């Protein structure tokens, strides 16, 4: 079963290919990125559309796979994991077939927030949260470096970050 078919079987949208988006669609996307819990009434008011139109547009964006989910943004400090880091990982050239299973294994570990596949010097990067430097070090040593497919890692501690707030804005003027 393909990833798309699996996601659809689990109740998620099926990507039907590219969809022509207009300024209202882009505005809806931006508003939901800012507040995924925004009510349909508030969304309709902000986009100056009828509630039924707003609802239909959100549904169409979901069905087209443009909106693939709404997620909680968790303050890792509030849950006892204040130390965040990006860990860049290279896989041994002879272990490329293990790239997908390795990232799937890592994505299930409690410290991992996201896994990103990369082009370039590294194969993927992990965004992790740990309770302290000792826990982060143990993660790198035991969950990464001891695995036979991992050639090298480079860890960068995140000092602060900002979430993008204007990702879709240039399209709203169409």
- Each as own residue / partner, the long-range contacts of residues 45-49 (CB below 8 Å, 24 or more positions apart, any chain) are 49/24
pLDDT band at 54 (very low <50, low <70, confident <90, very high): very high
Model confidence pLDDT, tens digit, residues 149-163: 999 999 999 999 888
Q: Nearest 10 degrees: CA dihedral of 141, 144, 149, 154?
A: -90
d(CA 55, CA 64): 14
Whether the pLDDT of residue 38 is over 60: the answer is yes
What domains can you pick out in the chain, each with its CATH number?
23-64 (1.10.10.10), 76-158 (3.30.70.920)
H or E element: which one contains 137? helix 133-138
How far is C-alpha 89 from the geometric centre of its chain's CA atoms?
A: 18
Please provide the DSSP assignment of 11-64 as one string.
TPPPP-S-----HHHHHHHHHHHH-TT--HHHHHHHHT--HHHHHHHHHHHHHT
Model confidence pLDDT, tens digit, residues 86-96: 999 999 998 98
Partner residues linked to 153 by β-bridges: 89
| 3-class DSSP assignment, residue 83 | strand
User: Between residues 6 and 21, which one has the greater pLDDT?
Assistant: 21
pTM confidence score = 0.75
pLDDT at 19: 67
Range name among 9-18, 67-76, 147-156 with the lowest pLDDT average: 9-18
Closest CA to 14 of 2, 27, 5, 1: 5
């Amino acid at each position: 079963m393909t990833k798309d078919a699996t996601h659809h079987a689990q109740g998620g949208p099926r990507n039907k290919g590219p969809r022509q988006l207009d300024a209202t669609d882009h505005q809806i996307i931006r508003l939901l990125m800012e507040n995924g819990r925004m009510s349909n009434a508030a969304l309709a008011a902000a986009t100056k559309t009828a509630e039924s139109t707003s609802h239909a547009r959100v549904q169409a964006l979901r069905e087209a796979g443009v909106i693939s989910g709404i997620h909680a943004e968790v303050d890792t400090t509030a849950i006892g994991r204040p130390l965040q880091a990006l860990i860049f990982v290279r896989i041994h050239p002879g272990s490329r077939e293990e790239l997908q299973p390795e990232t799937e294994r890592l994505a299930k570990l409690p410290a991992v927030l996201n896994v990103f596949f990369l082009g370039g010097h590294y194969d993927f990067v992990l965004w992790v949260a740990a309770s302290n430097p000792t826990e982060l070090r143990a993660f790198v040593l035991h969950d990464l470096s001891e695995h036979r497919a991992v050639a090298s890692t480079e860890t960068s501690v995140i000092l602060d970050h900002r979430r993008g707030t204007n990702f879709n804005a240039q399209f709203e003027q169409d």
